[in-house]
Amino acid sequence: MKVAFISDIHGNAVALDAVLKDIETREVDKIFVLGDLCFRGPEPSRSLEIIRFLDCDVIKGNADEWLVRGINKGEVPDTALEIMNLEREWSLRQLDSQALEYLSGLPTELKFEYGKVKIFAFHATPDSLFEIVQPTENEDILEEKFMENEADIYIYAHIHKPYIRYIKGKSVINTGSVGLPFDGLTKASYALVDIGDKGFQLSNVRVEYDLNKVIKQFQESDYPNKELLMNILSSGKV
C-alpha cells in the first residue's frame, strides 16, 4: 500500500499539477491532503478545484481557517497583519461561497490504519492549526506535542520543511510544502508512506515544476504582496 501526503499548496496549482503527475508515476494507492490549499498563491480557485476533484480525504490548515474567518492579531507579526489581510481579500475575490463553505467544513485531523500500521495526521499539532514545531525540536517536545494519541506514524505539515525523525520507536514525518517550500530548495515536496506486510518505509519526495511560470503569474497579477512571494519561491526561503 502506497500512500501520499501532500500539503501547503498555497494556491500554486502549477506545482500541484507536477506533484500529482509524479504521484501517478509511483502507482500510489491513496492521497491525503493536510491543509493550506489556496491562500498566498496566484491560482487559489484552480488549486482548490484540483483538490476537490481528487475526491480524497482533506483536513484544514491555518491558511484555510484564515480565508474563512480572517487573520487575527497575534497570529502573524504585527507588521504583516495588514498586508496579509489584503492578500486574503484578493484570494477571496477568486473564490465563491461554495469554496468557503468547503474550507469551513474541513476536519482537523486524520486517524486510520493499514494492516497493523496506525497513522495519525494533522496540519500543525493535534491541538492547534497554528503552532510551529520545527525539525530540531527536542524529542521530549515532539513526544508531548504529537504522541498523546497512539500511532506508529505521525504526519504533519505547516512548517514547509520536510524531514523524518524516529522517536522511541515512533516515526515523525513532515510533508514539506507543495507550493511554497522554506528549506532552501525550490522543488515541491510531499511525503510517501509505503506499507508492506512486514513494515513500512517513509520518504520525502521532491519534484521540479515550472517555477518561472508561477513567477510570471504573480508578475501579471495585481496580487498585493507579490514581490515577497516571488522572492520566497525563487529562493525556497522565508
- Going along the chain from its start, the domains and CATH numbers come out as 2-235 (3.60.21.10)
Q: Which three cell numbers stand for residue 143?
A: 513526544
Residue 198 has pLDDT above 90, yes or no: no
SS3 content of the chain, % helix, strand, coil (to 5): 35, 25, 40
Q: Report the SS3 class of residue 58.
A: strand
Strands 153-156 and 117-122: parallel
Query: How far is residue 47's CA from residue 125's CA, in Å, rounded to a whole number?
Result: 24
> Which DSSP state fits 23?
H
Asked whether the whole model's pTM tops 0.85, one would answer yes
Report the distance separating Cα 5 and Cα 7, nearest Å: 7
Model confidence pLDDT, tens digit, residues 65-106: 999 999 999 999 999 999 999 999 999 999 999 999 999 999
DSSP helix/strand/coil, 66? helix
* 94 DSSP assignment: H
pLDDT of residue 84: 97
Across-strand partners of 199?
Answer: 196
pLDDT tens digit sequence for 107-119: 999 999 998 999 9
- pLDDT for residue 112: 92
The pLDDT assigned to 184 comes to: 97
pLDDT, tens digit (0-9, with 9 covering 90-100), for 24-60: 999 999 999 999 999 999 999 999 999 999 999 999 9
pLDDT for 149 beyond 90 = no
What is the per-residue pLDDT for 200?
A: 96
Q: Average pLDDT over the chain, rounded to whole?
A: 96
Q: What percent of the chain has pLDDT over 90?
A: 96
How does 126-136 read in b/e, with b if 16+ C-beta sit within 10 Å? beebbeebeee
**Mean pLDDT, residues 150-177:** 97
